[in-house]
C-alpha cells in the first residue's frame, strides 16, 4: 500500500531535499502572494505579527515537539531579545543590528547556564522550573527600571541598517516573512540530521537513546539553546516593529500563548507552528466584535481544537487527508 | 581473553538484594547466557553492567578497564550495547530511523552544518541509512524498514532492538529475553541471528527463559537465583546440576524440569 503511493509521487518530489523543504516552499509562495489580497496596511501588520510569533513557536516546537521537553518560560527569552534592541541603542549607543545579535547571544548564554540544571528535571518538574525562570526574568525587567523603564516599559529606537532606516508596516512584513521562512528551513534541516534523530529518540525513550550512545543531557541543552535563540529573535522583531515594549513581552501569559501555538498547530509540525501562531494572533482580532465575550469564545475555540483535532491542526488534517487517499 | 568482568557486584533495593556479590568473567566472542527464575536479578545485572544503575559494591571491567559507574552513553562509546526486556522503542520513528539512532556514536557532523544542511550532512545521512539498512537486514527486518515502529509486532520489535544495538557496532551485546513472545519458527530464526552475531566476533550476553534456545546456542551459562550465583558451566554441566533444576522449578518441578531441559 505504502509502496504504491510512493510510486505515484514524481521522482523529483521524492528527493530528500525537496521533501524536507516542500512545506516551507509552499509557505514561502503564500507569503509572497498573499499581500496582493491585503485591503489595508492593517493586514500587513497582523500578518507580520503572525510570522514573528511563528518564529518563536518554531523554536519552542523544536524543544517540545521533537525533544519532548516543555518550557513554560520561553517568553523570557523573547524578553531578552526585545530589551536588547531597546536598551542597546538607547543606553549604550550600540546599533540595533548589533544589539539584535547581542540579544541572541545573551539568550543562548542564559539558556546554557539555566538549561544545565533545569533540563535534568522531567515532566511537571521541568514545567514548573521553566515557569519560575520566566517569572524571574519578567521581574528583572520590571525592577531594573533605570534601564528598562520598569512596568511602563520603554520606547524602541527605529533600527538603522547601513544608513537605511527600517520603517513601515510593509517592510516589517517582508522582514518577518523572510525570517520565518529562513528559520523554518533551518529547523527542517536540523530535524533531518543526526541531532534531529537523537532528539526524536529522546522524546520516545531516554533510556534507549543513552544506551545507544546519545548524550541526552548535551542534546537537550543544545536544543534548549537553539530554541532560546529563536525566541530571542522573535522578541527583537516584536520590539522593533511595535516601537515600544513592556515587561509583558516576557510574561507568563506570553509563555503560555507560545505553548498554545505549538500545541494547537501541531506538536512536531513546523507548518503547524505557523498555523498555531496565525490562530492565536488573528482570532482575538477577528473576535473583537464580541467585546466582553471575546476571551471566552477564544477559550472555546482553543478547547474545541484540542478536543476534535487532538494531534493539533496540521497533523490532524494531514492524517485525515492521507486516510482519504488510501 | 576476558572482555567483560564483573567482580563481586551488589545492589539492593530497600531490603531486596537484587544482585548480591555476583562475579562473572566473560570471554570474547562467546554466547554467554545468564539464566535464573523470575526475580533472580538478571535484568538488574544488565542495568548495572550497562550503567543504568550504579552498583553499591563491586566493579565492572571492560577489557581490563574499570568502567564502574560510567553512564550508559560512555559505555556505548566503549562498545557496550543492549536490548530491553520491556521494549524501549522509538515508536514515532520508522524501523529504519530507530536503527539510524543506533549509528549516532559514529556520526560526526556538528550542529551548525546540520542547521545549514551542508553537503557533509547529506553524505552522513546516506552513510547512516546504509549502515542501518545493513543492520536491519541482519535481523531479517528489511521489509519493515519504512513502517512506523509502532505498527510492528512484538517479535519484530524485539529484533528491531537487536538491529538498533548492532548499529552501534558493539564489542559486547547484552540481550534481555530476545525470544519472549516469539513462536517456535521465530525463535529458531533468532538462534541463527544470535549465533551469527557471535561468529562475527561480538560477545553476546544472553538473558533468556527459553531453555531450548539457551541450551542450543550458549557456549557458557551462568545461573542466578535470588540475586546470587548458583552455578556456572557449559550447557551440559548446568543441565546436570541438581541445584539448578531445583532452583528453577522447586523440588516438585524438578522431574518436569529434567524433561524440559533434557
Ligand atoms: N528499580 C527497582 N526498584 C526496586 N526493586 C527492584 C528494582 N529493579 C529490580 N528490583 C527487584 O530486584 C529483583 C530482581 O529483579 P530483576 O528484574 O532483575 O529480575 P529478573 O531476573 O530480570 O526477572 P525476570 O526473569 O522476571 O525478568 C526483584 O525482586 C525486583 O522486584
Ligand atoms: Mg528481567
**Residue B201 belongs to a domain with what CATH number?**
3.40.50.300
User: Among residues A223, A202, A226, A232, which one has the least CA distance to residue A214?
Assistant: A202
Least confident of A16-25, A82-91, A136-145, A179-188: A16-25
Mean pLDDT calculated for residue range B83-104 = 94
Instruction: Tell me A63's DSSP state.
Output: I
Answer whether A204 sits within 8 Å of B90, measured CB to CB.
yes
Give Rg (Cα) of chain A.
20
Burial letters A89-118, b for 16+ CB under 10 A, else e: bbeeebbbbebbbbbbebbbebbeebbeeb
Domain count, chain A: 1
Residue B258 has pLDDT above 70, yes or no: no
Residue A1 has pLDDT above 50, yes or no: no
- Tell which wins on pLDDT, A36 or B68: B68
Residues of B in contact with A198 (CB under 8 A): 101, 104
Task: End-to-end CA distance of chain B: give it in Å, rounded.
Answer: 31
How far apart CA A313 and CA A319 sit, in angstroms, is 10
Residues of B in contact with A16 (CB under 8 A): 122, 125
Rounded to whole angstroms, what are the CA distances from B138 to B105, B109, B164, B167, B227? 20, 26, 11, 10, 34
Per-residue pLDDT of A154-181, as tens digits, reads 888 887 776 677 677 888 899 999 999 9
Residue where a domain terminates, one of B169, B188, B219: B169
Per-residue pLDDT of A192-229, as tens digits, reads 999 999 999 999 999 999 999 999 999 999 999 999 99
Domain enclosing residue A117, as ranges: 16-250
Mean pLDDT for all residues in chain A: 86
Say how many residues make up chain A.
326
Under 8 Å between Cβ of A111 and A228: yes
How far apart CA A253 and CA A234 sit, in angstroms, is 16
| B63 belongs to a structural domain | yes
Does one domain contain both B240 and B161? no
User: Among residues B164, B204, B210, which one has the least CA distance to residue B186?
Assistant: B210
Q: How confident is the model at residue A152 (pLDDT cuts 50, 70, 90)?
A: confident
Does one domain contain both B71 and B102? no
| A260 belongs to a structural domain | no
Does one domain contain both B67 and B102? no
Helix (H, G, I), strand (E, B) or coil at B39: coil
**pLDDT given for residue A15 in this prediction:** 56
Residue A186 has pLDDT above 60, yes or no: yes
User: Among residues A173, A115, A141, A145, which one has the least CA distance to residue A249?
Assistant: A141
Answer whether B104 sits within 8 Å of A207, measured CB to CB.
no
**Joined grid coordinates for residue A7:** 510510486
How far apart CA A197 and CA A190 sit, in angstroms, is 9
Least confident of A14-23, A31-40, A112-121: A14-23
Per-residue pLDDT of B19-52, as tens digits, reads 999 999 999 999 999 999 888 999 999 999 999 9
Does one domain contain both B98 and B116? yes
**pLDDT given for residue A41 in this prediction:** 84
What residues pair up with A76 in beta bridges, in sequence order? none
How far apart CA B21 and CA B59 sit, in angstroms, is 10
| A310 belongs to a structural domain | no
% pLDDT > 90, chain A: 40
A237: left (phi over 0), alpha (psi -120 to 50) or beta: alpha
Least confident of A139-148, B5-14, B153-162, B243-252: B243-252
Does one domain contain both B13 and B55? yes
Pairing of strands A154-155, A244-245: antiparallel
Per-residue pLDDT of A287-319, as tens digits, reads 877 777 877 888 888 888 888 888 888 888 888
Does one domain contain both B240 and B255? yes
| B84 belongs to a structural domain | no
Measured in degrees and rounded to the nearest 5, phi and psi for residue A240 equal -65, -35
Q: What residues of chain B have any CB closer than 8 angstroms to a CB in chain A?
A: 50, 52, 71-73, 76-77, 81-82, 84, 88-93, 97-98, 100-102, 104-105, 107, 109, 111, 114-117, 121-122, 124-125, 128, 146-147, 161, 164-165, 167-168
Per-residue pLDDT of A70-95, as tens digits, reads 999 999 999 999 999 999 888 898 88
Domain count, chain B: 2
Domain enclosing residue B218, as ranges: 1-79+172-262
Residue A7 has pLDDT above 50, yes or no: no
User: Considering the entire predicted model, what is its pTM?
Assistant: 0.90
| B59 belongs to a structural domain | yes
Mean pLDDT calculated for residue range B145-152 = 91
Does one domain contain both B216 and B130? no
Residues of B in contact with A200 (CB under 8 A): 90, 92-93, 97
Does one domain contain both B5 and B67? yes
Does one domain contain both B157 and B204? no
| Ligand 1 center–CA B44 separation, angstroms | 6
The angle subtended at Cα B208 by Cα B205 and Cα B213, nearest 5°, is 95
Does one domain contain both B155 and B196? no
**pLDDT given for residue B83 in this prediction:** 96
| A71 belongs to a structural domain | yes
Per-residue pLDDT of B53-74, as tens digits, reads 999 999 999 998 999 999 999 9
Does one domain contain both B69 and B182? yes
Within 10 angstroms of residue A310's Cβ, the number of other Cβ atoms is: 10
Q: Which of B73, B90, B124 sits opposite A194 (nearest CB)?
A: B124
Q: What is the largest CA-CA distance in chain A?
A: 66
Least confident of A7-11, A304-308, B129-133: A7-11
Residue where a domain terminates, one of B169, B193, B211: B169
Does one domain contain both B187 and B257? yes
Residue where a domain terminates, one of B150, B169, B188: B169
Half-sphere exposure (CA, 13 Å, Cβ side) for A105? 6
Residues of B in contact with A205 (CB under 8 A): 88-90
Q: Which of B43, B54, B224 to mutate to test the pocket of ligand 1 (most atoms within 8 A of CB)?
A: B43
How far apart CA A249 and CA A236 sit, in angstroms, is 10
| A292 belongs to a structural domain | no
Which atom from ligand 1 is nearest to the alpha carbon of B227? 14
Instruction: For chain B, say whether A87 makes contact (Cβ under 8 Å).
Output: no
Distance from CA of A69 to the nearest CA of B (A): 16
Residues touching ligand 1 (Cβ under 6 Å) are: B 13, 16, 18, 36, 38-44, 85
What residues pair up with B23 in beta bridges, in sequence order? none
Least confident of A7-11, A127-131, A276-280, B38-42: A7-11
Q: How confident is the model at residue B260 (pLDDT cuts 50, 70, 90)?
A: low
Q: How confident is the model at residue A231 (pLDDT cuts 50, 70, 90)?
A: very high
Instruction: Tell me B94's DSSP state.
Output: B
- The ligand placed nearest to the CA atom of residue B45 is 1
Name, of A12-21, B152-161, B239-248, the range with top average pLDDT. B152-161
Mean pLDDT for all residues in chain B: 90
Give Rg (Cα) of chain B.
19
Residues 6+ away with beta carbon under 8 Å from B173: B81, B82, B162, B165, B166, B197, B202, B203, B204, B205
Q: What is the largest CA-CA distance in chain B?
A: 67
Amino acid at each position: 500500500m505504502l509502496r504504491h503511493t510512493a510510486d505515484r509521487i514524481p521522482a523529483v518530489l521524492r528527493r530528500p531535499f525537496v521533501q524536507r523543504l516542500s512545506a516551507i516552499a509552499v509557505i514561502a509562495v503564500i507569503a509572497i502572494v498573499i499581500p496582493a489580497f491585503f485591503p489595508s496596511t492593517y493586514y500587513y501588520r497582523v500578518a507580520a505579527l503572525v510570522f514573528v510569533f511563528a518564529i518563536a513557536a518554531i523554536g519552542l516546537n523544536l524543544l517540545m515537539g521533537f525533544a519532548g521537553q516543555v518550557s513554560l518560560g520561553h517568553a523570557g527569552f523573547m524578553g531578552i531579545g526585545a530589551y536588547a534592541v531597546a536598551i542597546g541603542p538607547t543606553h549604550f549607543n550600540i546599533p540595533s543590528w548589533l544589539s539584535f545579535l547581542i540579544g541572541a547571544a545573551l539568550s543562548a548564554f542564559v539558556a546554557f547556564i539555566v538549561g544545565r540544571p533545569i533540563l535534568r528535571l522531567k515532566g511537571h518538574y521541568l514545567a514548573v522550573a521553566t515557569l519560575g525562570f520566566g517569572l524571574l526574568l519578567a521581574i528583572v525587567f520590571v525592577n531594573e527600571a533605570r534601564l528598562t523603564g520598569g512596568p511602563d516599559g520603554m520606547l524602541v529606537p527605529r533600527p538603522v541598517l547601513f544608513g537605511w532606516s527600517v520603517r513601515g508596516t510593509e517592510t516589517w512584513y517582508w522582514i518577518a516573512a523572510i525570517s520565518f521562512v529562513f528559520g523554518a528551513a533551518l529547523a527542517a534541516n536540523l530535524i533531518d540530521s543526526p541531532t534531529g534523530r537523537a532528539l526524536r529518540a529522546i522524546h520516545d525513550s531516554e533510556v534507549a537513546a543513552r544506551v545507544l550512545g546519545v548524550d541526552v543531557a548535551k542534546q537537550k541543552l543544545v536544543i534548549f539553546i537553539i530554541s532560546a535563540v529563536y525566541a530571542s529573535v522573535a522578541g527583537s522583531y516584536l520590539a522593533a516593529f511595535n516601537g515600544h515594549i513592556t515587561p509583558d513581552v516576557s510574561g507568563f501569559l506570553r509563555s503560555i500563548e507560545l505553548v498554545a501555538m505549538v500545541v494547537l498547530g501541531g506538536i512536531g509540525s513546523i507548518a503547524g507552528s505557523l498555523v498555531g501562531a496565525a490562530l492565536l494572533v488573528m482570532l482575538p482580532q477577528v473576535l473583537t466584535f464580541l467585546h466582553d465575550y471575546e476571551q471566552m469564545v477564544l477559550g472555546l475555540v482553543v478547547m474545541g481544537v484540542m478536543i476534535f483535532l487532538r494531534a493539533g491542526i496540521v497533523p490532524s488534517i494531514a492524517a485525515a487527508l492521507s486516510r482519504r487517499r488510501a | 581473553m576476558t572482555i567483560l568482568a564483573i567482580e563481586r557486584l551488589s545492589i539492593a533495593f530497600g531490603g531486596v538484594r537484587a544482585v548480591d556479590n555476583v562475579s562473572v568473567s566473560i570471554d570474547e566472542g562467546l554466547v554467554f547466557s545468564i539464566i535464573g527464575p523470575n526475580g533472580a536479578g538478571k535484568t538488574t545485572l544488565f542495568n548495572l553492567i550497562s550503567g543504568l544503575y550504579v552498583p553499591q559494591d563491586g566493579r565492572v571491567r571492560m577489557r581490563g578497564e574499570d568502567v564502574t559507574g560510567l553512564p550508559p552513553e560512555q559505555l556505548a562509546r566503549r562498545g557496550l550495547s543492549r536490548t530491553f526486556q520491556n521494549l524501549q522503542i522509538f515508536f514515532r520513528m520508522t524501523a529504519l530511523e530507530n536503527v539510524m539512532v543506533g549509528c549516532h556514536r559514529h556520526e560526526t557532523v556538528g550542529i551548525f552544518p546540520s542547521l545549514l544542511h551542508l553537503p557533509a550532512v547529506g553524505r552522513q545521512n546516506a552513510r547512516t541509512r546504509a549502515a542501518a539498512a545493513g543492520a536491519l537486514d541482519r535481523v531479517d527486518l528489511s521489509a519493515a524498514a519504512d513502517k512506523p515502529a509502532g505498527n510492528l509486532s512484538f517479535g519484530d520489535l524485539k529484533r528491531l532492538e537487536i538491529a538498533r544495538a548492532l548499529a552501534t557496532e558493539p564489542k559486547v551485546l547484552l540481550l534481555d529475553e530476545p525470544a519472549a513472545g516469539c513462536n517456535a519458527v521465530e525463535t529458531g530464526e533468532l538462534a541463527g541471528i544470535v549465533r551469527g552475531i557471535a561468529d562475527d566476533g561480538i560477545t553476546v550476553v544472553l538473558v533468556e527463559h527459553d531453555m531450548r534456545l539457551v541450551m542450543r546456542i550458549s557456549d557458557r551459562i551462568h545461573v542466578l537465583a535470588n540475586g546470587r550465583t548458583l552455578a556456572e558451566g557449559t550447557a551440559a554441566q548446568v543441565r546436570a546440576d541438581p541445584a539448578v533444576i531445583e532452583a528453577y522449578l522447586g523440588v516438585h518441578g524438578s522431574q518436569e524440569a529434567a524433561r524440559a531441559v533434557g
